[in-house]
Amino acid sequence: MAPKYRLVYFNVRARAEPTRLVFAAAGVDYEDVRIQRNEWPGLKPNTPMGQLPVLEVGGVTICQSMAIARYVAKETGLAGKTILEQAQADMLVDGLDDLRGKQAVIRKAPEDRKLTWADLVFYDVTSKVLAVLPGALDDLPKLSKVMGTVTANERIAKWLAKRPDTPH
């Protein structure tokens, strides 16, 4: 008999969504428990590390969103066929998870901020992405604005016009 899975998180995608996607891709039923913010203080003391999401399976509760998703991927055959493939998948997921934290900072950044070196590094990395995926920022007006702010800078425009034509 297949285990019963109970995933508990807030009513947002965020950190539980990778696990939900793995369940969906594998065609595995689970209980998707979405709590309200006002319920959280009462539940927090009963979680392993005082945080969500948690996955309950077979009387055991585990936390840490990527550990949960990784566990479900292994259970459903989506972790990789070999240990090496699993390590490669883990490598990519860990790198993407690092970006998730940075995405939150970008999303909360004030719109009227001045040019910083963070904008310049974002421009550099994103221009490489845009070289392969030209419309990647079409639905992201704040990030498009950062790109525009950088290219509108007189000194940056001068540098871009004169820099050597080299590979990305």
Mean pLDDT per 10-residue interval, the chain, length 168 residues: 91 90 93 96 95 96 95 94 92 76 59 73 85 85 88 90 78
The pLDDT value recorded for residue 73 is 95
The pLDDT value recorded for residue 86 is 92
At 22, give phi and psi (nearest 5°).
Answer: -65, -45
Sign of CA dihedral 151, 152, 157, 161: positive
- Cα–Cα–Cα angle for 63, 66, 68, nearest 5°? 50
3 state SS of 2: coil
At 167, give phi and psi (nearest 5°).
Answer: -65, 155
3 state SS of 65: helix
Looking up tokens 């639905």, which residue turns up?
139
3 state SS of 138: coil
pTM of this structure: 0.66
Looking up tokens 């972790």, which residue turns up?
79
In the chain, which segments carry CATH 3.40.30.10? 5-76
Alpha helices in the chain (DSSP H): 17-26, 40-43, 65-76, 83-108, 117-132, 141-152, 154-162
**Residue 33 bridge partners (DSSP):** 8
The pLDDT value recorded for residue 114 is 81
Helix, strand, coil shares of the chain, percent, nearest 5, are 60, 10, 30
Q: Which CATH class is domain 5-76?
A: alpha beta
Which tokens is 159 given?
A: 């540098």
